[in-house]
A and B are shown apart, each in its own frame.
Chain A
Amino acid sequence: MKAFLPIAIVVAGLACVPLFVHSNVVLNFLLVTLMIALAGQGWNILGGYGGQYSFGHAAFFGAGAYTTAILQAHYGVNAWLGFVAGVAAGAAVGAIIGGLAFRAGLRSSYFALVTLAFAEVLRILTSVAPITGAGVGILIKLDLRAQSFQFQSRAIFYFVILALVAIALIIAQLLERSRFGVWLIAVRENEDAAMALGVDATAVKLGAMIVSAAITAAAGCFYVQYFLFIDAGIAYGTWISIEALLTPIIGGVGTVFGALVGALVVKSLGEGAKLVTGDVPGLDLMIYGAVLVLVIRFAPRGIVGALADIYAHVTRRFVAPRKPAAGVAHG
């Protein structure tokens, strides 16, 4: 259980925030940040641990969002059931795209392109199909009751998204310590070598894609419950594909806390810039782009990786002289 202690501490820390902060602006900021962290953690499972860089995670975010929105708005299905269905739909879309792409042996640029193309196709189709509200989008009826997955207080919404993020963190931690996770990392590091050792690379990547898609779909479902609205540009827009990828890369690709750290840093920078210059369109994304390039250039393992390096460096300097053997183990 010791491995889960950092998760417990971080989540408990974040859970205390609403006790001290009552500002709706701050809570709203943290909510959106956690939602992006959740979407990013989904990307991290496939991209970070599996090395398959998807440029179209909007496909899963949108599938989750639209499934729960359509079920609620057109069929009167309970919002919690809608949430479960949305996550399942995201997983199913992940299974379809992953099944096609991995069976065709698409890697690197090709995989990035095909995921991007699927997200775009879904965006165009939902912007013309009547069931998705075409260009208008879908509004969810306001019904502020817990059984409708809508809450009067922002703090409750905050606890819900925090719980979802906690689950996603635990999934990543379980993955790291599981046989499946080791296979996945082996595929990332050298797919041919992993296959030579008997790892079914296609099945492993497909499994990671399904989990990844389900987590990002949960973020999409949450978006619908919180904003009570969805349209094609939000659900399948490039913004979510980019933010889902940006946060774990900047925070620390293939680490448990990468997406969370990345989301906090990136969103704080974006909001900070807005505070300084006022709400100018493009500024926050401009900063995201610049930070992405800088992080890859100077800290390819992200903020978490860089901190780990600094920590290792410091401990080596002050501790290692007493235990000469430790230096080798660190390399």
Chain B
Amino acid sequence: MLSPLILISAVLNGLLIGAVYALVALGLTLIYGVLHIINFAHGALLSAALFAAFFAYQKLGLDPYLATFLLAPGFFALGYALQRFIIGPASHGDDRNMLLVTLGLAVLIENALLYAFRADTRTIDLAYGFRSIDLGFTFLAVPRLISFVAVFAVALALWLIMSFTDTGKAIRAVAKEKLGAELAGIDVAHIYAMTFGLGTACVALAACLLIPTYYVNPSAGNAFVLIAFTIVVLGGMGSVPGALIGGLLIGVVESLGGFFFGESLGQVGIFLIFIAVLLLRPRGLFGASA
């Protein structure tokens, strides 16, 4: 029979994986909030970051959690450069072009990874990779607990940046009123690129948190990003608390859906939520206006 303890353990594991979803979604929602486009290259960048974390461990012997201090700045710079020198100039100020350019970059990055590393799935073995805490009725993987805490730390750091730094204030100004911000002397192209950099850094952090328990291949990031789209839409595009709560919620839905209906139909559940929210309440649970 169904014991409530099994359900509780499914919910707990859903919350843990949901935190990482939230982090991926955070990057996406940040970019949407300011640039008003969905970054379709997000998944490919996540795959690239997973590879970077993998090779940092394999070649340099760098622990994934330490690698964050290398990869987060690195991917921030990459994101900045992508927006400043490729996406921005190529979009000619048209949202639709921006969508297409990020899609083109996604295809380019994903297949460059495929070309370089083939479709093989790789994993790393860490001493703590399989360590878990016994709660009596269920086990919680230590790396996932670490990532759960780390995600909230990152969200807090992001909130501090947005609230108290000049760059953060400029980002919020551009998000609210682009023309006004420009007139006030804010370099909009720079702020766009900073935002894109921050969003990409979130992806690098997510990759470092994922790699101890997850695998990497050229399309590994896509699975997360389709979920992240759902979270961003559910939480309200551009809303940071929305992304966090949406991420946890989707983690639980997926965990319970997989528990009751099997893994692939659990995914259909996520997409149906996604479509339903888009059609019925496109501004999401916490979004301001569509």
A-B interaction:
yes
Q: Determine the distance from Cα of A106 to Cα of B38 in the docked complex, in whole angstroms.
A: 14
A interface, size bucket? 35 or more
What are 9 of the A-B contact pairs (CB < 8 Å)?
A: A101-B278, A104-B282, A113-B274, A118-B275, A282-B115, A286-B111, A286-B112, A290-B108, A293-B108
A55 contacts the other chain (Cβ, under 8 Å)? yes
CB <8 Å contact, A53 and B106: no
CB <8 Å contact, B278 and A109: no
CB <8 Å contact, B264 and A128: yes
CB <8 Å contact, B114 and A282: yes
Nearest 10 A/B pairs, CB to CB: A289-B108, A282-B114, A289-B107, A292-B104, A297-B90, A282-B111, A282-B115, A286-B111, A285-B111, A293-B104
Binary interface encoding of chain B residues 190-210 relative to chain A, with 1 for a CB under 8 A from any of its CBs, else 0: 000000000000000000000
B101 contacts the other chain (Cβ, under 8 Å)? yes
Interface residues of chain B, those whose CB is within 8 Å of chain A, are: 32, 36-38, 40, 86, 89-92, 94-97, 99-101, 103-115, 118-119, 218, 226, 229-230, 233, 237, 264-265, 267-268, 271-272, 274-275, 278-280, 282, 290
B contact residues around A153 at 8 Å (CB):
none
B contact residues around A293 at 8 Å (CB):
86, 90, 101, 104-105, 108
A146 contacts the other chain (Cβ, under 8 Å)? no
CB <8 Å contact, B278 and A114: yes
CB <8 Å contact, B107 and A300: no
A231 contacts the other chain (Cβ, under 8 Å)? no
A257 contacts the other chain (Cβ, under 8 Å)? no
Q: Determine the distance from Cα of A292 to Cα of B218 in the docked complex, in whole angstroms.
A: 20
CB <8 Å contact, A242 and B107: yes
Q: Determine the distance from Cα of A245 to Cα of B100 in the docked complex, in whole angstroms.
A: 9
A147 contacts the other chain (Cβ, under 8 Å)? no
Residue of B nearest to A277 (CB): B115
Interface hits, A22-52 → B, CB 8 Å: 51
A100 contacts the other chain (Cβ, under 8 Å)? yes
CB <8 Å contact, B268 and A125: yes
A249 contacts the other chain (Cβ, under 8 Å)? yes
Q: Determine the distance from Cα of A286 to Cα of B101 in the docked complex, in whole angstroms.
A: 13
Chain B: interface secondary structure? helix
A124 contacts the other chain (Cβ, under 8 Å)? yes
Given A124-B268, A127-B264, A128-B264, A296 contacting B97 (CB threshold 8 A): yes
Residue of A nearest to B268 (CB): A124
Interface residues of chain A, those whose CB is within 8 Å of chain B, are: 51, 53, 55, 100-101, 104-106, 108-110, 112-114, 116-118, 120-121, 124-125, 127-128, 242, 245, 249, 280-283, 285-286, 288-290, 292-293, 296-297, 300
Residue of B nearest to A128 (CB): B264
CB <8 Å contact, B115 and A296: no
Q: Determine the distance from Cα of A283 to Cα of B114 in the docked complex, in whole angstroms.
A: 8
Residue of A nearest to B37 (CB): A109
A contact residues around B264 at 8 Å (CB):
124, 127-128
Q: Determine the distance from Cα of A101 to Cα of B278 in the docked complex, in whole angstroms.
A: 8
B contact residues around A300 at 8 Å (CB):
92, 94, 97
A contact residues around B40 at 8 Å (CB):
55, 112
Q: Determine the distance from Cα of A120 to Cα of B267 in the docked complex, in whole angstroms.
A: 10
Residue of A nearest to B275 (CB): A117
Q: Determine the distance from Cα of A292 to Cα of B105 in the docked complex, in whole angstroms.
A: 9
Residue of B nearest to A125 (CB): B268
Q: Determine the distance from Cα of A242 to Cα of B40 in the docked complex, in whole angstroms.
A: 12
CB <8 Å contact, B38 and A109: yes
CB <8 Å contact, A55 and B271: no
Residue of B nearest to A300 (CB): B92
CB <8 Å contact, A296 and B112: no
Q: Determine the distance from Cα of A288 to Cα of B106 in the docked complex, in whole angstroms.
A: 11
CB <8 Å contact, A296 and B101: yes
CB <8 Å contact, A110 and B101: no
Given A242-B103, A282-B115, A296-B101, A117 contacting B95 (CB threshold 8 A): no
Residue of B nearest to A103 (CB): B279
B contact residues around A249 at 8 Å (CB):
100
A contact residues around B278 at 8 Å (CB):
101, 104, 106, 110, 113-114, 117
